């Protein structure tokens, strides 16, 4: 009898503890983001796909097509090509393709770039069934994007 009464008291204390926690959570502010209508705020250290950094004066890419990023990439997902144009001091990038399906977001390409021409984007909503979303041409994306 004593054992049954002890179990009953223990169960009642457990019930009150659960009710107290539930009641406290009921009055707390919601932390849900209404996703399609509200955008998530990405942390500063979030790594999306890589993008070019624009030159402040000319608005062109800082990339000199040295292929350091292509060599450093462990996933072999970067293809870089460039030409030396007349009147320019450095090579200019003409083709920079990133296969985002193979990219491991390791950051080797960003770290090895001698002119800091690459950085991580903050784009996080890249879900799609279209192939062109995952085969990213950074030169075309930079030209089409905002200045």
User: Can you give the pLDDT at residue 147?
Assistant: 60
What distance in Å separates the CA atoms of residue 59 and residue 7, rounded to the nearest whole number?
A: 74
**Token digits of residue 64:** 């000199």
For the chain, 147 residues long, give each residue's pLDDT as a single digit of tens. Answer: 888 899 999 999 999 999 999 999 999 988 888 887 888 788 888 888 889 998 878 878 889 999 999 999 999 999 999 998 888 888 889 999 999 888 898 999 999 999 999 999 888 877 776 666 678 888 888 887 766
User: Can you give the pLDDT at residue 131?
Assistant: 65
Give the Cβ contact number of residue 80 at 10 Å: 23
Sheet of strand 135-137, all strands in order from the earlier edge strand to the far edge: 78-83, 92-99, 135-137
CA dihedral angle for residue 8, residue 12, residue 17, residue 22, rounded to 10 degrees: 130
CA 77 to chain centre: 16
User: Can you give the pLDDT at residue 49?
Assistant: 86
Residue spans of the domains in the chain: they are 1-31, 50-144
Domain 50-144 sits in CATH at: 3.30.70.3270
pTM (predicted TM-score): 0.68
What distance in Å separates the CA atoms of residue 54 and residue 63, rounded to the nearest whole number?
A: 9
């Amino acid at each position: 009898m004593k054992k049954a009464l002890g179990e009953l008291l223990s169960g009642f204390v457990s019930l009150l503890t659960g009710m107290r926690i539930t009641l406290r959570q009921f009055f707390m502010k919601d932390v849900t983001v209404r996703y399609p209508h509200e955008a998530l705020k990405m942390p500063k250290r979030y790594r999306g796909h890589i993008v070019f950094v624009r030159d402040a004066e000319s608005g062109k890419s800082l990339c000199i097509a040295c292929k350091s990023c292509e060599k450093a990439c462990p996933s072999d997902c970067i293809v870089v090509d460039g030409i030396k144009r007349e009147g320019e001091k450095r090579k200019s990038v003409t083709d920079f393709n990133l296969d985002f399906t193979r990219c491991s977001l390791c950051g080797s390409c960003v770290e090895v770039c001698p002119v800091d021409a690459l950085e991580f984007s903050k784009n996080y909503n890249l879900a799609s069934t279209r192939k062109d979303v995952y085969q990213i041409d950074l030169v075309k994306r930079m030209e089409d994007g905002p200045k």
